[in-house]
Amino acid sequence: MTRVLETRFDLSLDAMRDVAWGGEDVALSGKALDCIAASHASFIEYVTKDPNASVYGVNQGQGEMIGEAMTQADRDRLARLKPLAAAVPFGEPYPVRVTRAMVLARFANLLEGHGMATPRLAEELVAMLNSGSVPRVAQQGQGGPGEILVLYSLFAELTQRLELEAGERGALINGSPAAAAVLADAVLVAERRLAMAEEVMALAIVAFNAPSEHYEPVLGTLLGGTYNTTAFDNLVRLLDGMTDGVEARTHQAPVGYRIAPHVLGQAHAALNHARELAGQSLSAVTHNPVYLPADGDHPHGWCASTGGYHNAVAAPAIDGLAGAWADLCLVCLRLVVGLLNGRASGYPDFLLTGRQAGGSDGHGAVGYLPMAIVGFMEEARDAASRTFIPAADASVFGQDDVTAPAFLAWPKAIRAGVALDRCLAVLATASSQALAVTGRERLPPQLGVLLSEVRGCVKPVEADRPLGGELHNLADHLTVRIMADDLVSAGEVP
């Protein structure tokens, strides 16, 4: 399949999923190429014929040279200047899917001519995606204004073999496509992680035999908000059949079990918010300066200097997802404790096999599971701290005095998410143990596969044994399930 791009509004989350994660090829429509060509020609005419034309990075110096007059020779040299010097970040690279997303998001400024690109340059970006030759870009060391450090690194190899024309360098390194890309990636990961959290928590609810009334869809409706109705509806679907052959509990479950759908609803709210802002960011024109087409006052078009390279919404939206993961870690802890506490569950304390409730004999202690969750939960809470606009000023000459925060937020959300996967692994193990101790084999069919996967990594505990390695394998398994659609990073797509 090939995804055809014609306008900037073709840059959607679906496009990111197919191209960045799935390795789908892209192509530019004839209309898009014609628009890019006509806009570039009009821009060159504006620069050469309008005596008032003053375009940053084209006929006006950039950075510390902003106020200096430029000769034609200076302009020619600036046009040919390759984006290499700012490729200074180093460290762990972004996954391939993320750098592919950055290249794809780059088209938002180009497709309708606002970024002053040439058709040649646009086709080079298409070739980068379709050939699979997207460079690795470091996550660390991204402390610059806008996105020049990311984009210099991303496009350095491309420009080393091209002679650049006026406007082409800026078409590659200006704007905020990378922030849009990491926000979109955080959303795509969150969709899968939240579905996994719902599935594991549903297994825990079944294992505890919590009253089904806690999860009635009408409760989500009464709360209001589509995010609440979604959370309740998803749990009801997963729990369908939970009471088959089981005597219903006659008293309410502990608070953790009753608020689970509410906290899942909050996670859906954070996801919906981030999804909306990702869609907005992917199609946003963020070039600096931005080229605007001819009108009555500007027969050759005109350029406006902007701050579009600073995506102000990406970091807070990503932080919202990280915060949701941290809260869900706490719910995991409460659900595990409820299962282990015989006074709450009615099961043997610590879910010991061969032990009657209130008795002293038993085998297979899992009573230390909550301690593991606490450790992972605190990792998630630490990663979920608010990402502020960095206060440090790394500018040498005063132009570049604010740092972009999105590149600091994305890895924190990833870390918080992985910590949640580990908490879910512990919760799933405790749920499996509760079902084994109580001899319950009948489950809602939609949870049967999950239980089989859990027991494939961690068998029910009948005698004391080290569980850390098995829990690690289960946590990795859950993370792999979440990332299964990332065919590019997994090496399944060339």
d(CA 475, CA 42): 56
pLDDT at 66 over 80: no
Which DSSP string do the residues of 355-367 spell out, in sequence order?
--TT-S--B---T
| Co-location of 194 and 167 in the same domain | no
Specify the pLDDT at position 35.
95
Domain of 86 in residue numbering reads as 2-177+287-304
Angle (CA) 17 18 19, round 5°: 100
**65-69, 121-125, 347-351: the lowest-pLDDT one:** 65-69
More confident of the two residues 109 and 362: 109
pLDDT of residue 65: 56
| pLDDT tens digits along 238-282 | 999 887 767 778 889 999 999 999 999 999 999 999 999 999 999
Tokens coding 348: 């043997």
In this predicted structure, the answer to whether residue 132 has a pLDDT above a threshold of 90 is: no
Question: What is the predicted pLDDT for the residue at 369?
Answer: 95
In 72-171, DSSP assigns E strands to none
Length of the chain: 494
Domain assignment of residue 492, yes or no: no
Residues 227 and 171 in one domain: no
Q: What is the share, in percent, of the chain residues with pLDDT greater than 70?
A: 88
pLDDT digits (tens, 9 = 90+) for 338-381: 999 999 999 999 998 765 444 455 566 799 999 999 999 999 99
Q: Average the pLDDT over 436-454 and give the result.
A: 92
For residues 397 and 441, state if they share a domain: yes
**Is residue 292 located within the same domain as residue 361?**
no
Which residues make beta-bridge pairs with 26? 3
Same domain, 368 and 451: yes
More confident residue, 291 or 98: 98
Query: Residue 321: is its pLDDT beyond 90?
Result: yes
Nearest-angstrom CA–CA distance, 401 and 396: 9
Which pLDDT value is given to residue 467? Answer: 94
- Provide DSSP, 420-433: HHHHHHHHHHHHHH
Domains in the chain, number: 2
CA distance 128 to 100: 9
Per-residue CA distances from 357 to 328, 335, 343, 366 (Å) = 29, 19, 9, 16
Judge contact between 41 and 117, C-beta under 8 A: no
Based on the fold, state whether residues 128 and 189 are members of the same structural domain.
Answer: no
Strand partners, 2: 25
d(C-alpha 32, C-alpha 159), whole Å: 22
Q: By C-alpha distance, which of 92, 26, 96, 27 is closest to 493? A: 96
Residue 234, pLDDT above cutoff 70: yes
Q: How confident is the model at residue 399, as a pLDDT?
A: 65
- Nearest Cα to Cα of residue 189 among 254, 275, 119, 108: 275
pLDDT reported for residue 52: 66
Does pLDDT of 160 surpass 90? no
Cα 234 → chain centroid: 22
Cβ atoms of 471 and 425 within 8 Å: the answer is yes
**Residue whose C-alpha is closest to residue 89's, from 133, 148, 134:** 148
Higher pLDDT, 279 or 292: 279
Is 76 inside a domain boundary? yes
At 357 the pLDDT is 46
Among 418, 420, 427, 416, CA closest to 450? 427
Q: Is residue 263 part of a domain?
A: yes
> Following DSSP, what letter does each residue of 50-93 receive, concatenated?
-TT---BTTTB--GGGTTS---HHHHHHHHH--TTTT----SSB
Predicted pLDDT at 426:
98
Structure tokens at 118: 């040439």
Say if 493 falls within a structural domain: no
Evaluate whether residue 394 is within a structural domain: yes
**What is the pLDDT, as a whole number, of residue 489?**
85
Q: How much of the chain is in helix, strand and coil states, percent to nearest 5?
A: 55, 5, 40
**What pLDDT score does 159 carry?**
85
Q: Cα(493)–Cα(491) distance, rounded to whole angstroms?
A: 6
- H or E element in which residue 246 lies: none
The pLDDT-based confidence of 133 (bands split at 50, 70, 90) is confident
Give burial (CB, 10 Å; 0-12/13-18/19+) of 14: exposed
| 203-207, 464-468, 478-482: the lowest-pLDDT one | 464-468
**CATH number of the domain that 219 lies in?**
1.20.200.10
User: Do both 85 and 205 map to the same domain?
Assistant: no
Q: Is 488 inside a domain boundary?
A: no
CB 403 within 8 A of CB 141: no
- Look at 154 and 489; give whichever has higher pLDDT: 154
CA R_g for the chain: 27
Do residues 184 and 289 make contact, with C-beta atoms less than 8 angstroms apart? no
Q: For residue 138, what is the domain's CATH number?
A: 1.10.275.10
Mean pLDDT score, 106-119: 94
The pLDDT confidence band at residue 450, using thresholds 50, 70 and 90, is: very high
For residues 122 and 199, membership in a common domain is answered with no
Say yes or no: 337 and 194 in one domain: yes
Both 343 and 473 in a single domain? Answer: yes
Q: What is the pLDDT of residue 359?
A: 47
* Residue 210 resides in a domain: yes
* Domain shared by 272 and 293, yes or no: no
Provide the β-strand partners of residue 56.
60
Residue 321 is assigned to a structural domain of this protein = yes
Confidence label for 473 from pLDDT (cuts 50, 70 and 90): very high
| C-alpha torsion sign, points 342, 345, 350, 353 | positive
Yes or no: say if 347 and 204 are a contact pair by the CB < 8 Å rule.
Answer: no
Q: What are phi and psi of 365, to 5 degrees?
A: -70, 130
Regarding whether 239 and 340 lie in a shared domain, the answer is yes
Weakest mean pLDDT among 224-233, 296-305, 466-475: 296-305
Q: Strand 25-28 vs strand 302-304: parallel, antiparallel, or unpaired?
A: unpaired
**Whole-number average pLDDT of the chain:** 89
Instruction: Tell me the CA distances in angstroms from 353 to 2, 299, 367, 434, 460, one per residue in order.
Output: 56, 83, 12, 9, 9
